[in-house]
Copies of this chain bind each other. A is one copy, B any other.
Amino acid sequence: MSQLHLLSPLGFSAAGVAAKIKSTGKKDVGLLLCQQMASAAAVFTTNRVFAAPVKIGRLHIASGKLRGVVVNSGNANACTGLQGQRDALEMCQLAGELTGAAATAFLPSSTGIIGHTLPMEKVRAGLRQAAGELGASQDHALGFAEAIMTTDLKRKAAAARFKVGKRTVTLAGVCKGSGMIGPRLALKPSLHATMLAYVTTDAEIAPLLLRKLMAQAAEKSFNAVTVDDQTSTNDTAAILASGMSGAKISDGAGAKRFAAALTEVCQSLAIQIAADGEGASKVVAITVRSAASEAAAKIIARSIANSPLVKCAMHGNDPNWGRILCAAGMVGQPFAQEKCVLRLQNTRVFAKGRPLTFDAAKLSAELNAKQVQVVLDCHLGKGEATCWTCDLSQEYVAINADYHT
Q: Which residues of B contact A76 (CB under 8 A)?
A: 322
Interface centre among A307, A308, A317, A333 (most CB of B within 10 A): A308
Closest chain B residue to A321, Cβ basis:
B115
Say yes or no: B318 contacts A402, CB within 8 Å.
yes
Proximity string of chain A (115-140) to chain B, C-beta cutoff 8 Å, 1 when within and 0 when not: 11100000000000000000000000
Closest chain B residue to A117, Cβ basis:
B355
* C-alpha gap A192/B321 in the complex (Å): 18
Say yes or no: B115 contacts A327, CB within 8 Å.
no
Say yes or no: B398 contacts A192, CB within 8 Å.
no
> A403 with B192: in contact, given A397-B392, A397-B394 (CB under 8 Å)?
no
Q: Is A405 on the interface with B (CB-CB < 8 A)?
A: yes
CB distance from A103 to the nearest CB of B (A): 23
Main secondary structure of the interface of A (DSSP, over half): loop
Q: Is A309 on the interface with B (CB-CB < 8 A)?
A: yes
Q: Is A254 on the interface with B (CB-CB < 8 A)?
A: no
* C-alpha gap A329/B332 in the complex (Å): 23
Closest chain B residue to A331, Cβ basis:
B192
Proximity string of chain A (30-65) to chain B, C-beta cutoff 8 Å, 1 when within and 0 when not: 000000000000000011111000000000000000
CB distance from A29 to the nearest CB of B (A): 21
Say yes or no: A180 contacts B309, CB within 8 Å.
yes
Q: Which residues of B contact A350 (CB under 8 A)?
A: 79, 115
Q: Which residues of B contact A321 (CB under 8 A)?
A: 114-115
* C-alpha gap A43/B364 in the complex (Å): 36
Q: Which residues of B contact A113 (CB under 8 A)?
A: 320, 322
Within 8 A of B (CB), among A346-402: 350, 353-355, 360, 364, 392-394, 396-402
> A330 with B192: in contact, given A79-B353, A354-B81, A396-B308 (CB under 8 Å)?
yes
Say yes or no: B191 contacts A355, CB within 8 Å.
no
* C-alpha gap A116/B354 in the complex (Å): 9
> 9 A–B contact pairs at CB < 8 A?
A47-B329, A49-B326, A114-B323, A115-B355, A191-B332, A230-B307, A230-B309, A319-B405, A320-B404
**Across chains A and B, which 8 residue pairs bring their CB atoms closest together, nearest first?**
A114-B322, A49-B329, A316-B401, A312-B400, A394-B394, A48-B329, A231-B330, A320-B404
Which residues of A are interface residues toward B (Cβ below 8 A)?
46-50, 76, 78-82, 113-117, 179-180, 182, 184, 190-192, 228-233, 307-309, 312-313, 315-323, 325-338, 350, 353-355, 360, 364, 392-394, 396-405
